[in-house]
Amino acid sequence: MLTIEVDRLFTDKNTNSVYLKVAITEPILLACIDGASMPEISLSVQRIIPISDRTIRNYLFHLINSFLVSYKGIMKLYFVTPRGLDTLKIIYFQREKGIVNYADLMLKIE
């Protein structure tokens, strides 16, 4: 189950939930629409927010485990899945509502 929430910790100790910042998740998903290598994803994210490649890899791990992104090992490319595209629609809907600051949006993955 995926939900978008505001201002949470990266993980919730009481459940198996993971919270990912939308400001990082969105550029990863967008980069993967036509397939992207790790350096391409890193460049896309770093244009928006300066973070380490290790953090990006951590996000990719969670996005793959939640079936939002797939990895094609032969081509060494990451691709957004239909579920990932649906998540982008939810993100855009939340951004359009403008109730909260974009930087505060978190994606909850259970």
pLDDT tens, position by position, 20-78? 999 999 999 999 999 999 999 999 999 988 999 999 999 999 999 999 999 998 999 99
Could you please report the per-residue DSSP string of 35-46? -B-HHHHHHHHH
Q: Identify whether the C-beta of residue 35 lies closer than 8 Å to the C-beta of residue 74.
A: no
Angle subtended by helix axes 53-65 and 22-31, to nearest 10: 80
**Top-level class of domain 2-109:** mainly alpha
69-109 tens-digit pLDDT: 999 989 999 999 999 999 999 888 887 877 667 777 888 88
Whole-prediction pTM: 0.83
**Rg, Å, the chain Cα set:** 13
Residue with tokens 């973070």: 51
Q: What is the pLDDT of residue 98?
A: 72
Residue 4 predicted with pLDDT over 70: no
